């Protein structure tokens, strides 16, 4: 499985916002883009998804920007990956066996299910807080 740039950049955006969570100082998109080297147009799309998911909120006004709406220790990497990848499974047949004609006799399905569960069990143990550099 290869994670999309959405998941990777999404996690980086959240780490950047987490650095300012204690002070609740809003960060503007341009500042996040510069610090994380993410194209601004792409970052705006990702921020929108994070806002719709309730993880980030926008602050209006001249000193406005974006802040975390959830403490960084409550945001798991698994949650971020699920949000941006749009699915919980490595393969579709885990939750929708009808999508595969081989599903009734498939010997791989359980292996894919086990791999998916192991992946997300690990990602769910890592929080945005864990990913922050203690020296920044």
CATH number of 5-131: 1.10.10.10
pLDDT higher than threshold 80 for residue 133: no
pTM of the predicted model, to two decimals? 0.87
pLDDT tens-digit series, residues 53-90: 999 999 998 889 999 999 999 999 999 999 998 777 77
What are the domain boundaries of the chain?
5-131
Comparison of pLDDT for 1 and 126, the residue scoring more = 126
At 135 the pLDDT is 60
Q: 1-39: b or e for each residue (b if 16 or more CB lie within 10 Å)?
A: eeeeebbebbbbbbbbbbbbbeeeebbebeebbeeeebe
**Stronger pLDDT, 50 or 113, i.e. the higher one:** 50
Strand partners, 76: 127
**Is the pLDDT reported for residue 14 higher than 90?**
yes
* Mean pLDDT across the chain: 90
**pLDDT tens string 88-119:** 777 777 777 787 787 778 888 888 888 888 98
**pLDDT over 60 (residue 136):** no
pLDDT for residue 31 is more than 80: yes
């Amino acid at each position: 499985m290869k994670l999309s740039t959405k998941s990777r950049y999404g996690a980086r955006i959240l780490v950047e916002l987490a650095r300012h969570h204690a002070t609740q100082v809003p960060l503007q998109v341009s500042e996040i883009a510069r610090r994380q080297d993410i194209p601004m147009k792409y970052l705006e799309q990702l921020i929108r998804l994070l806002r719709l998911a309730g993880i980030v909120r926008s602050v209006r006004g001249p000193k406005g920007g974006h802040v975390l709406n959830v403490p960084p220790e409550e945001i798991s990497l698994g949650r971020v990956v699920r949000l941006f990848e749009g699915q919980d499974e490595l393969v579709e047949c885990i939750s929708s066996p009808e999508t595969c004609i081989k599903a009734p006799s498939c010997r791989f399905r359980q292996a894919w299910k086990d791999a998916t569960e192991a992946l997300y069990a690990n990602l769910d143990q890592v929080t945005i807080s864990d990913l922050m550099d203690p020296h920044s």
